[in-house]
């Protein structure tokens, strides 16, 4: 890089830190050339050449849940709606979002139950690409306020109808990933009324600080799923392709009032891409067909 180019990039960063996220939008819509953390392999966007980000929630400048994405080709609108049926909360941290199952108070046992949800509002799309980087932390130690032997939560990332009035108990959801917190399996799937397609993939072990990448691509012909930057499955059933705009929902799912194992789920970033560039239909194994009874 030339000295002039280096100086210009330093000036751009300094300006962004002063005036805020919107300054970065015009020049930072391309997918990053390298992954966000050391040790990560290429993302699906990098491997399959998705190129231009429409929006990127990475909370790099301390944005709240009600703030829009900080960079991309289309950063208008967008905010997160949080909800909890128990002790869990979704909170900001320095450069990401954390799902907390409950309080962490040393030498005091505190409860952990219910489901915590974040739903994206104001960024609907029927087709496109979405990718997220997630990390987890688990406790099973009384000094961190955890009762021993609790069941693990599940982290669920999905596309649901963007219009709340069109939500039909999950009958047209696309599950990008459903993974037990601390586990090594990932379930993916799509629903169309009473029909369900799904698959459980295993062998996704990771260290305590390692992230995991989940992504989905929805075209007019096919849905494709990606884990850690590689395509793992695809579905060409016409009934599974969304007919209405969809949005992203993230959940840390408990089991009603049952005590669960104290956990954190950390979301470092969530990005959206259109279908203008890159590989649209990578070859991948199919899913298994079954029945779906609803999830309300």
| Helix or strand run (H / E) with residue 253 | strand 246-253
Q: How many residues does the chain have?
A: 296
pLDDT confidence of residue 62: 80
pLDDT confidence of residue 104: 80
Contact present, 54 and 272 (Cβ < 8 Å): yes
The Cα 189–Cα 196 span in angstroms is 7
pLDDT confidence of residue 38: 40
> How do strand 128-138 and strand 174-180 relate by DSSP bridges?
unpaired
What is the CB neighbour count within 10 angstroms for residue 40? Answer: 17
pLDDT in tens, 77-116: 999 999 999 999 999 887 899 999 998 877 677 899 999 9
pLDDT confidence of residue 139: 72
CA atoms within 13 A on the CB side of 186: 21
The Cα 199–Cα 189 span in angstroms is 6
List of long-range contacts for 187-191, beta carbons under 8 Å, 24+ apart: 188/225, 188/232, 188/233, 188/287, 189/287, 190/223, 190/235, 190/237, 190/240, 190/287, 191/240, 191/292
pLDDT confidence of residue 178: 98
pLDDT confidence of residue 236: 97
**pLDDT lower than 50: segments of the chain:** 1-27, 34-36, 38-39
pLDDT confidence of residue 29: 61
- pTM here? 0.87
pLDDT confidence of residue 34: 47
pLDDT confidence of residue 17: 37
pLDDT confidence of residue 231: 98
**Backbone dihedral angles phi then psi of residue 89, each to the nearest 5 degrees:** -145, 150
User: Which residue matches tokens 């990098």?
Assistant: 46
């Amino acid at each position: 890089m030339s000295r002039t180019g280096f100086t210009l990039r330093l000036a751009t960063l300094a300006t962004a830190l002063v005036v805020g996220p919107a300054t970065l939008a015009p020049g930072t819509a391309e997918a990053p050339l390298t992954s966000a953390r050391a040790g990560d392999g290429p993302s699906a966007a990098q491997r399959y050449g998705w190129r231009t980000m429409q929006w990127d929630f990475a909370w790099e400048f301390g944005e709240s849940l009600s703030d829009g994405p900080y960079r991309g080709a289309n950063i208008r609108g967008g905010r997160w709606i949080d909800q909890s049926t128990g002790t869990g909360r979704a909170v900001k941290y320095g450069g990401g979002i954390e799902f907390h199952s409950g309080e962490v108070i040393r030498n005091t046992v505190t409860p952990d139950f219910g489901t915590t949800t974040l739903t994206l509002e104001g960024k609907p799309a029927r087709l496109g690409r979405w990718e997220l980087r997630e990390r987890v932390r688990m406790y099973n130690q009384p000094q961190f306020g955890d009762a021993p032997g609790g069941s693990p939560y599940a982290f669920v990332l999905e596309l649901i109808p963007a219009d709340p009035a069109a939500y039909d108990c999950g009958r047209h959801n696309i599950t990008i990933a459903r993974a037990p917190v601390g586990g090594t399996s990932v379930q993916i799937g799509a629903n169309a009324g009473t029909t369900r397609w799904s698959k459980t993939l295993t062998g996704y072990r990771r260290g305590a600080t390692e992230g995991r990448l989940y992504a989905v691509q929805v075209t007019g012909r096919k849905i494709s799923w990606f884990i850690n930057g590689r395509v793992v499955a695809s579905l060409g059933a016409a009934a599974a392709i969304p007919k209405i705009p969809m949005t992203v929902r993230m959940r840390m799912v408990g089991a009603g009032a049952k005590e669960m194992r104290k956990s954190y789920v950390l979301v470092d970033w969530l990005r959206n891409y259109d279908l203008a560039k890159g590989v649209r239909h990578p070859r991948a194994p199919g899913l298994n067909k079954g029945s779906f009874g609803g999830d309300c």
